[in-house]
Structure 1
């Protein structure tokens, strides 16, 4: 499934507090994803022999590469959101800086789209991983009962 990048046509007005809360939420989600990605790596290690079987190898390679790319993207987004959060000062310093404030708001809009796209792609990766492991787990149980 190929995702196309969309442009936000309408973004409701966000206060500095709203943008702060949204950034904190993103950081929380990204932190959780880091832990979840470690879990997935452990899961892959647990089922490594089944995953590298000839009939699964191509799919497994793609999943492992996607997970690795996802980890890198999570780190990258975390740094971007942390920097964005630090830049919030321009919105709350009490100084009227119209251009800087507009730049910050535009960056926030871009981050809304970027983080949302990443989270959607990550959900697809999780679904693929769980489906694959579930299939292997079922075939293992079937083999044990025979």
Structure 2
């Protein structure tokens, strides 16, 4: 039978396995975002000249800076999650997960921070796609008007 842990922020009990699963899910999502960031960086590079032609150099520079920040946050979060997992393992070995309120609070805090990171990243990705889409439309309009 699994040990259940009360997580006040959800008002339900969550098992140690579920806490561990949270960490694994976070790492998986962050690794996927890292791959997407490489793609977005390449996408911006592909359309850089078009951005210059349309006067969007500042936008692209801002996106590049934000991507660099996101990449730094990825490595920070991976380190935090790995440390969090090590603490969980130690607590499991000493059979004190259930009674350790500090760990549960740190899990809750980390979860909020990661969810905020995911939300901010999705906004950045959407902004980049919207900008590239607008560049593609303007480029197509220029082609049509030149014919």
Q: TM-score, normalised by structure 1?
A: 0.84
- RMSD value over aligned CA atoms? 1.9
Q: Distance in 2 between matches of 1:97 and 1:75?
A: 26
Higher relative contact order (CA 8 A, sep 6+): 1
Q: Distance in 2 between matches of 1:56 and 1:28?
A: 33
Deviation at 1:94, TM superposition (A): 4.6
1:55 aligns to 2:59 (yes or no) = no
* Unmatched runs of 5 consecutive residues or more in structure 1: 1-8
Number of matched pairs:
137
CA distance in 2, matches of 1:88, 1:17: 10
Query: Which protein is bigger by CA-based radius of gyration?
Result: 2
Higher strand share: 2
Deviation at 1:14, TM superposition (A): 2.6
Is 1:143 the counterpart of 2:139? The answer is no
Quote the offset at 1:47 in angstroms: 0.5
Contact 2:63 2:128 in 1 (8 A): yes
Q: Which runs of 5+ in 2 are unaligned?
A: 1-7
Conserved? CA contact 2:88–2:97, under 8 Å: no
* SS of the residue 1:87 aligns to: helix
